[in-house]
């Protein structure tokens, strides 16, 4: 079959009996990734290494408001970038950053990949000064002595004082964004009048007084010592000779960065002072992407329970509607939306999303492919001639609600991890290995002794909260979408909202925390449109095969008089158990967890309000995230085991729901975030049967008579836990 006929001529390329052979190979990356020494945080390594490292690096605590320029004694400093075509950066590539002319290498030197922000000044966003005209915002903005009042045109980021008073500089230890001071199109000026300070790293022992740059949108950073030849100065250049001897020599180092298309130019900046007291040594010139409008990061989701339509969502720098071409049809035109900095939320102090973490999301396109058949595979592509087209991508529809069989993955708290040695403000060290393991399984249809080929077919995916962990650093959504594309572009990728998508102070979330970084659910709902009833009401239900899924938001009001509670009653009360015999309840924050901490894993008020609904409507399994491990209970209600599983002939725990007693609760937040280790003594959690702290995902298979589940260890692909529920 030629490529043209795959898109236009032939609608059906296979059935769910077996994905087409062209479906997808393990899409690790077609790029030639070099051997990379890992930095301060272990990623893409062994489970044991993951468990010893936190997802929050020291990089998170860097002063994000101002960074001064170092007083550089070396006139030889240079930054060069290799592997970049004349036309610009490709949609995905590795680049090598070489920094040379360093007189005294230091373990405090580091390099950041940044993107100039188009963020509005903070004062304008929280009731302060208006934006300065773009023409006045550049490196020539005149300086004033420290303490002298600033005019409107010279109003700095971080200044909350009224006109005529000295500015107040906010230096709050939160995640670093990135840095830019030279782009005339971005309204963060260089701020002068910042005091000089000392740096004791052996190089640049003084900083340039009266000169600083503002932190805007950072993407990644690496210590220069990731190059093993740097500190030992194995790569040298001689600059001055005397009597035949070299009297002035400098050192150089090189780092490799993984770059994806985020539409805006990127730069590389060499710093001294470590993350504690950074100052700027040298900046590269901006690097543009060759195709900033290219359609990217397409991902699928189900629209309803029929299985005959699928929604495709993708990102582009192009605001003109684009098209999806699929099967025999000429295509469907996309609807285009975006969100702005004004859509982000903040309180007295600016949130990352409202301020230094803002990055233009481009335009989000969505289109619904209709007229499909359930359990059927097709090809599609998206884009338009003027900006480019995606590859031709195979996808398969899920089974219709009420049919006899369903296979799906479920997990929570995935996030993302770098594909190089970088650190970010928030890294989920298991994210890449778990994503890759799921891609491998979908591609291979690998068998084991307990699952037949048909049972291993995956029709759908459920990601139950804490999606990207961007937490107000908007460019990180692009990195997350890039990470899941090899999976979500082929299968229905359904989501539930978590605290790191929605929660922020005084914004209507149940829990008054800054966990979303000021996103307040806006990016999440834009990138992942689910079949909900309205914006900021992210609860929904859907049926696939013999399963009815009820998906709630634990971050929105759930008390007995709330809209969501009444919806849950109506939804679960209307389930036809002859049509969909299995009822699975999904939410982010769990009702049962043996993890005890300063911030409780379980909200007892939530349990008291909602748990009775689960028993009243005979929920079979309740799936939760939020706690970063795997834990399975007995059939439990009000902390009491109502029924225990029995081992079947294969040694698998089997719950018999013929005479229903209570739901089985399973915490599955082990997909990416640093694992939570279980307490040595969990004697008060008598309902807890299985506790495993390993990165992985849960594989489900449902028929009319049986619901089976397996926890897959992503590092070994071995099954760590297995259970089944039956009814006669």
Least confident range from 5-14, 28-37, 628-637, 647-656: namely 5-14
671-682 pLDDT tens trace: 999 999 999 888
CB atoms within 10 A of CB 446: 12
Q: Which residue has the higher pLDDT, 119 or 384?
A: 384
Q: Look at residue 608 and give its three-state secondary structure.
A: helix
Whether 609 and 574 have beta carbons less than 8 Å apart is answered as no
Name the residue among 197, 173, 203, 205 with its Cα closest to residue 275.
Answer: 173
C-alpha–C-alpha distance, residues 502 and 532, integer Å: 15
Whether 708 and 701 have beta carbons less than 8 Å apart is answered as yes
552-571 pLDDT tens trace: 999 999 999 999 999 999 99
Q: Which residues pair with 394 in a beta bridge?
A: 379
Whether 619 and 581 have beta carbons less than 8 Å apart is answered as no
Confidence bin at 461 (pLDDT 50/70/90): very high
Scanning the structure block, which residue is given the tokens 């914006």?
535
- Tokens representing 230 are 């740097």
C-alpha–C-alpha distance, residues 109 and 204, integer Å: 11
Q: What is the pLDDT of residue 348?
A: 74
For 7, which DSSP code?
Answer: I
Scanning the structure block, which residue is given the tokens 């060759």?
290
**In the chain, pLDDT over 70 holds for what percent of residues?**
74
What is the mean predicted confidence (pLDDT) over 128-155?
Answer: 28
Whether 181 and 189 have beta carbons less than 8 Å apart is answered as yes
> Angle CA(371)–CA(493)–CA(433) in degrees, nearest 5?
145
Q: Look at residue 367 and give its three-state secondary structure.
A: strand
CA pseudo-torsion sign 274, 279, 284, 287: positive
CB atoms within 10 A of CB 340: 11
Q: Residue count of the chain, please give it.
A: 728
The secondary element (H helix, E strand) that includes residue 396 is: strand 393-396
The secondary element (H helix, E strand) that includes residue 405 is: strand 405-411
Scanning the structure block, which residue is given the tokens 């990728």?
493
Half-sphere exposure of 23 (CA within 13 A, CB side): 26
Q: Which residue has the higher pLDDT, 450 or 178?
A: 450
Find all residues with CB under 8 Å of 574, minimum gap 6, and list them.
Answer: none
- Tokens representing 659 are 């005479």
Q: Look at residue 580 and give its three-state secondary structure.
A: coil
Confidence bin at 185 (pLDDT 50/70/90): very low
C-alpha–C-alpha distance, residues 671 and 463, integer Å: 9
First-residue to last-residue Cα distance in the chain: 46
Alpha carbon 649 to chain centroid distance? 41
Whether 269 and 70 have beta carbons less than 8 Å apart is answered as no
Residues of the chain with CATH 3.60.21.10: 296-401+408-726
Break the chain down into helix, strand, coil percent, rounded to 5: 15, 30, 55
Q: What is the pLDDT of residue 60?
A: 59
pLDDT at 117 over 90: no
**In the chain, pLDDT over 90 holds for what percent of residues?**
66
Scanning the structure block, which residue is given the tokens 């709902």?
525
Q: What is the pLDDT of residue 183?
A: 30
Q: Look at residue 59 and give its three-state secondary structure.
A: helix
Confidence bin at 47 (pLDDT 50/70/90): very low
Q: Report the helix count and the strand count for the chain, using DSSP H and E.
A: 9, 36
pLDDT at 616 over 60: yes
Q: What is the pLDDT of residue 59?
A: 63
Name the residue among 612, 524, 599, 505 with its Cα closest to residue 568.
Answer: 612
Confidence bin at 492 (pLDDT 50/70/90): very high
Tell me the backbone φ, ψ of residue 437, rounded to 5 degrees: -65, -40
Q: Which residue has the higher pLDDT, 214 or 111?
A: 111
Q: What is the pLDDT of residue 216?
A: 54
Least confident range from 287-291, 427-431, 444-448, 500-504: namely 444-448
- Give the pairing of strands 267-272 and 110-115: antiparallel
Q: At what angle do helices 475-488 and 431-444 cross, to 10 degrees?
A: 20
- Report the chain's mean pLDDT, rounded to a whole number: 80
C-alpha–C-alpha distance, residues 392 and 380, integer Å: 5
C-alpha–C-alpha distance, residues 670 and 590, integer Å: 13
Rg of the chain over all Cα atoms, to the nearest angstrom = 27
Scanning the structure block, which residue is given the tokens 């600016």?
350
- Tokens representing 120 are 């509005």
C-alpha–C-alpha distance, residues 358 and 157, integer Å: 14
pLDDT at 65 over 90: no
Q: Which residues pair with 251 in a beta bridge?
A: 102, 236
What CATH number has the domain spanning 296-401+408-726? 3.60.21.10
CB atoms within 10 A of CB 339: 18
Q: Which residues pair with 699 in a beta bridge?
A: 409, 710
pLDDT at 636 over 90: yes
- Tokens representing 653 are 């725990």
Whether 552 and 558 have beta carbons less than 8 Å apart is answered as yes
């Amino acid at each position: 079959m030629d490529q043209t006929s795959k898109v236009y001529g032939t609608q059906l390329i296979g059935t769910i009996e077996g994905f087409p052979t062209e479906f997808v190979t393990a899409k690790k990356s077609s790029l030639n990734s070099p051997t990379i020494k890992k930095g301060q945080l272990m990623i893409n390594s062994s489970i044991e290494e993951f468990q010893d490292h936190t997802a929050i690096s020291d990089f998170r605590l860097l002063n994000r408001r101002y960074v001064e320029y170092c007083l550089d004694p070396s006139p030889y400093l240079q930054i060069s970038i290799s592997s970049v075509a004349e036309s610009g950066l490709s949609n995905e590539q590795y680049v090598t950053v070489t920094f040379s002319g360093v007189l005294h290498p230091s373990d405090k030197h580091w390099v950041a990949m940044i993107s100039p922000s188009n963020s509005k000044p903070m004062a304008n966003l929280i009731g302060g000064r208006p934006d300065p005209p773009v023409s006045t915002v550049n490196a020539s903005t005149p300086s004033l002595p420290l303490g002298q009042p600033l005019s409107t045109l010279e109003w700095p980021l971080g200044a909350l004082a009224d006109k005529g008073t000295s500015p107040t500089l906010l230096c709050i230890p939160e995640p670093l964004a990135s840095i830019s001071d030279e782009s005339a199109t971005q309204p963060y000026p260089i701020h002068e009048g910042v005091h000089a300070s000392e740096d004791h790293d052996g190089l640049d022992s003084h900083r340039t007084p009266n000169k600083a740059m503002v932190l805007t949108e950072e993407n990644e950073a690496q210590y220069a010592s990731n190059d093993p030849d740097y500190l030992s100065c194995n790569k040298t250049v001689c600059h001055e000779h005397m009597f035949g001897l070299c009297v002035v020599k400098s050192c150089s180092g090189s780092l490799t960065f993984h770059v994806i298309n985020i539409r805006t130019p990127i730069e590389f900046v060499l710093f001294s002072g470590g993350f504690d007291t950074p100052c700027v040594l040298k900046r590269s010139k901006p690097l543009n992407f060759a195709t900033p409008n290219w359609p990217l990061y397409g991902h699928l989701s189900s629209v309803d329970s029929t299985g005959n339509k699928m929604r495709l969502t993708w990102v582009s720098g192009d605001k003109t509607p684009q098209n999806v071409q699929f099967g025999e049809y000429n295509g469907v035109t996309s609807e285009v939306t975006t969100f702005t900095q004004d859509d982000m939320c903040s309180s007295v102090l600016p949130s990352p999303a409202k301020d230094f973490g803002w990055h233009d999301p481009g335009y989000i396109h969505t289109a619904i492919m209709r007229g499909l058949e359930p359990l059927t595979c097709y090809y599609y592509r998206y884009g338009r001639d003027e900006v480019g087209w995606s590859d031709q991508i195979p996808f398969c529809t899920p089974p219709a609600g009420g049919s006899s069989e369903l296979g799906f993955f479920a997990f929570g708290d995935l996030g993302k991890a770098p594909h190089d040695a970088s650190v970010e403000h928030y890294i989920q060290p298991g994210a890449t290995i778990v994503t890759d393991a799921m891609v491998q399984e979908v591609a291979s249809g690998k068998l084991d002794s307990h699952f037949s080929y048909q049972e291993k077919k995956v029709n759908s995916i459920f990601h139950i909260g804490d999606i990207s962990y961007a937490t107000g650093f908007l460019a990180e959504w692009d990195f997350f979408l890039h990470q899941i594309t090899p999976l979500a572009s082929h299968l229905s990728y359904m989501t539930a909202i978590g605290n790191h998508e929605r929660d922020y102070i005084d914004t209507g979330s149940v829990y008054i925390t800054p966990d979303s970084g000021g996103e307040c659910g806006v990016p999440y709902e834009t990138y992942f449109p689910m079949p909900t009833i309205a914006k900021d009401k992210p609860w929904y239900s859907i049926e696939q095969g013999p399963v009815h899924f009820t998906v709630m938001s634990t971050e929105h009001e759930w008390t007995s008089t709330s809209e969501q509670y009444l919806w849950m009653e109506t939804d679960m009360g209307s389930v036809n158990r002859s049509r969909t015999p299995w009822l699975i309840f999904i939410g982010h924050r769990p009702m049962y967890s043996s993890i005890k901490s300063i911030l409780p894993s379980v909200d007892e008020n939530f349990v008291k309000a909602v748990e009775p609904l689960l028993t009243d409507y005979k929920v079979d399994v309740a799936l939760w995230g939020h706690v970063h491990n795997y834990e399975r209970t007995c059939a439990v209600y009000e902390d009491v085991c109502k029924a225990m599983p029995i081992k079947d002939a294969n040694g698998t725990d089997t719950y018999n729901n013929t005479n229903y007693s209570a739901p089985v609760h399973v915490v599955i937040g082990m997909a990416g975030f640093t694992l939570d280790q279980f307490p040595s003594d969990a004697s008060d959690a008598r309902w807890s049967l299985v506790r495993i702290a390993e990165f992985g995902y849960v594989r489900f298979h449902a028929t009319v008579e049986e619901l089976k589940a397996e926890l897959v260890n992503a590092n070994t692909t071995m099954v760590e836990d297995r259970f089944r529920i039956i009814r006669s």
